[in-house]
Amino acid sequence: MFNEQAGKTTALYYRVASKPSHELYLDNQMHKLLCYASEKGLDSFKLYADVGVSGRTLDRPGFNALKAEIEAGNIEKLIIKDITRIGRDMFLTGQFIEMATAQGVTIHSVIDGDINISPLNADMAKIITALCQQLPKGGGIA
């Protein structure tokens, strides 16, 4: 069971980029998060979701609401299915993780476990993101 701090809550966040064709996937993500919360004995939590918005941007309505709550000091733990639910851009995702952990938030992936960014990992994310931005659209290396 997670120890909840007074006045703080656990956030569950899920995202899917496409709307109609991925409703089952979104339901599956929510189901995994809710089952995980139940297994850990979480009685109170807040759900945040984004549907139909790419993970390449962090400017998403549900994510912005989550970020505002973190910055206000209202969130102590963030639970996600996996790190790609935060974002697909490693640099932006790393910046968010650094900001959240600086606010005292623990980030936990149902699939990958606890997530944190060391300074070395943050630097590697910048290098990888820069290299990926050099690839042609569509992603492959010729």
pLDDT at 48 over 90: yes
Query: Of residues 121 and 27, which shows the higher confidence score?
Result: 27
Q: Per-residue confidence at 52, pLDDT binned at 50, 70, 90?
A: confident
Query: Domains, the chain, ranges and CATH?
Result: 9-133 (3.40.50.1390)
Mean pLDDT computed over every residue of the chain: 82
**DSSP states along the chain:** ---PPTT-EEEEEEEES-SGGGHHHHHHHHHHHHHHHHHTT---EEEEEEES--TT-S--HHHHHHHHHHHTT-EEEEEESSGGGT-S-HHHHHHHHHHHHHTT-EEEETTTEEE---HHHHHHHHHHHHHHHTSPTT----
**pTM more than 0.75:** yes
Please write the tens of the pLDDT for every residue from 99-125: 999 999 999 999 888 887 766 565 666
